[in-house]
A = this chain, B = another copy of it.
Amino acid sequence: MSEISSRGEKRTQILDAAEALFSRHGYDGVTLRAIAKLANVDVALANYHFGPKRDLFDAVFLRRAEILNQWRLEALEKVISESAPAPPEICAIIRAYFEPILKGPHVHEEGWKNYYALVGYVNSSHEWGGKLMSQFFDPAIRRFLEALEMALPGVSDEDLYWGYHCLSGALTLTFAQTGRIDHLSNGLCRSDDLAGACSHIVAFVTAGFEQLRDR
């Protein structure tokens, strides 16, 4: 944007460009040359700052993961402390998981939209889904599972893990923003409407967890 480059600006431009392209085309669908072009920098600069292509991908993935974890954990702690000493309601826990990331003003920023699509891509990637997601997100997820365990005493761990699996699938498909639901619903629902998706998914997933009590 600015004609005068401040320190580290090109580094950020590379991360932004890589994020945008990786999220649309996946890791193998993007060349370092395309990233350099979009970032308006020389081909070799990405390698200078980040090393090989794979390390650049990790850097992109890491950049916003910690912010995202922090938002969610803050919302969770708030919910837990507000209901203490009673366990929080399922619905409140689920909202703490979704709302900070789907209802904030940042969801309209291009960078965050791209990042979410990237997480959607990684989470359902046969190659990286297990490793990358576990590495960056599992610690925070475990806190949520503990909270759900408190709210659902007697429910088996197995049921809780599969519940999280369903939640995670619904969320990352939302992230991917494929336009599928737009087509299926003839435009009634829009896949880029993250805030709108949020309330539907929260209600759906909450009911999914609550039925575990009766099993």
- Footprint of B on A, CB under 8 Å? 23-29, 117, 120-121, 123-131, 133-134, 138, 141-142, 157-159, 161-166, 168-174, 176-185, 188-189, 191, 197, 200-201, 203-211, 215
A80, B210: Cα distance in complex, Å: 28
A62 to B200, CA, bound (A): 32
Pairwise interchain contact B126-A23, C-beta atoms closer than 8 A = yes
Top 8 closest A-B pairs, CB basis? A129-B178, A169-B173, A130-B179, A162-B200, A207-B211, A28-B28, A169-B169, A204-B208
Q: How distant is A164 from chain B, measured CB to nearest CB, in Å?
A: 7
> Is the pair B24, A126 in contact by a Cβ cutoff of 8 Å?
yes
Secondary structure at the A interface, as helix, strand, loop or mixed, is helix
Q: Least Cβ distance of A149 to chain B in Å?
A: 13
Instruction: State which of B127, B129, B183 has its C-beta within 8 Å of the C-beta of A138.
Output: B183
The verdict on A166 contacting B120 (CB below 8 Å), with A29-B27, A127-B25, A178-B133 known, is no
In whole angstroms, how far apart are the Cα atoms of A210 and B214 in the complex? 15
Known interface pairs A124-B120, A178-B125; A158-B26 also in contact (CB < 8 Å) = no
A39 vs chain B, min Cβ distance (A): 20
Known contacts A161-B188, A188-B161; A173/B178 CB under 8 A: no
Closest chain-B Cβ to A170's Cβ sits at a distance in Å of 4
In the complex, which of the residues B127, B138, B174 contacts A169, with contact meaning CB atoms closer than 8 Å? B174
User: Which residues from B are CB-within-8-Å of A179?
Assistant: 129-131
The verdict on A205 contacting B208 (CB below 8 Å), with A177-B126, A179-B130 known, is yes
Q: Shortest Cβ distance from A173 into chain B, in angstroms?
A: 3
Residues of B within 8 A of A157 (CB): 185, 188
